[in-house]
Amino acid sequence: MLWIIVIVIVLAIIAAGSYIGFYNSIVRTHNWTDEAWSQIDVQLKRRNDLIPNLVETVKGYAKHEQKTLTDVIDKRNQLATVPAANHEQTMAASNQLSDSLKGIFALSESYPDLKANQQFGQLMEELSNTENKLAYSRQLYNSSAVNYNNKIQTFPGNIIAPIHNFSKINYLETPSDEKKAPKVSFND
């Protein structure tokens, strides 16, 4: 009789232990995606801070490109109004901003003086750096989300997850025209 009780207790401890262990691993993978998102957030803020400087620098050289500049400013302000919690909408606005920024990147080709401007060169490196970091942190976010989703959708996660209200994380879409963010290189 005593033996049965001991065996039951041991089994209960093992079950509880593995339950806690699995719960913790779900939380851990969820935190990875949060961390990846905060990386994205940092880059979005950084880019929004850089854009006014960029516009100021370009204005003096490219007077006839008012449209391109206002477009970038509009997109930037638009991005700032998107609620931060909405990841998909934020990224959609960010992708639009990336697109209109490419317009400014292209300007340097038609304005040699602008291209030669040292401050513009620095801003370009800074901006392409944030664009690349955005692309990479999005990649990190998505791969973390895959890990997390796999965990909660397969056994035994599919039993544990609903109990603690873990829900699927949606992936961030990459811009349709290319798999990666603009890979601009100004140093060749």
Binding footprint of another protein on the chain (CB under 8 A): 39, 122, 125-126, 128-129, 132-133, 136-137, 139-140, 179-180, 183-185, 187-188
The distance of closest approach from Cβ of residue 118 to another protein in the complex, given in angstroms and rounded to an integer, is: 12
The distance of closest approach from Cβ of residue 6 to another protein in the complex, given in angstroms and rounded to an integer, is: 37
What sign does the CA torsion over 118, 55, 133, 128 have?
Answer: negative
The distance of closest approach from Cβ of residue 139 to another protein in the complex, given in angstroms and rounded to an integer, is: 6
Cβ atoms of 98 and 127 closer than 8 Å: no
The distance of closest approach from Cβ of residue 183 to another protein in the complex, given in angstroms and rounded to an integer, is: 6
User: Which of 35, 74 has the CB closer to another protein?
Assistant: 35
At 29, the amino acid letter reads T
Cβ atoms of 184 and 128 closer than 8 Å: yes
Cβ atoms of 120 and 109 closer than 8 Å: no
Kindly give the residue spans of alpha helices, DSSP state H, lying in 62-110: 66-81, 87-110
User: Which of 103, 133 has the CB closer to another protein?
Assistant: 133
User: Which of 176, 185 has the CB closer to another protein?
Assistant: 185
- Can you tell me the distance from the alpha carbon of 88 to that of 100, in angstroms, rounded to the nearest whole number? 19
The distance of closest approach from Cβ of residue 29 to another protein in the complex, given in angstroms and rounded to an integer, is: 13
User: Which of 46, 82 has the CB closer to another protein?
Assistant: 46
Name, in order, each residue with C-beta under 8 angstroms of 160's C-beta and a sequence gap of 6 or more: 19, 22, 23, 26, 152, 166
User: Which of 25, 39 has the CB closer to another protein?
Assistant: 39
- Can you tell me the distance from the alpha carbon of 167 to that of 164, in angstroms, rounded to the nearest whole number? 9
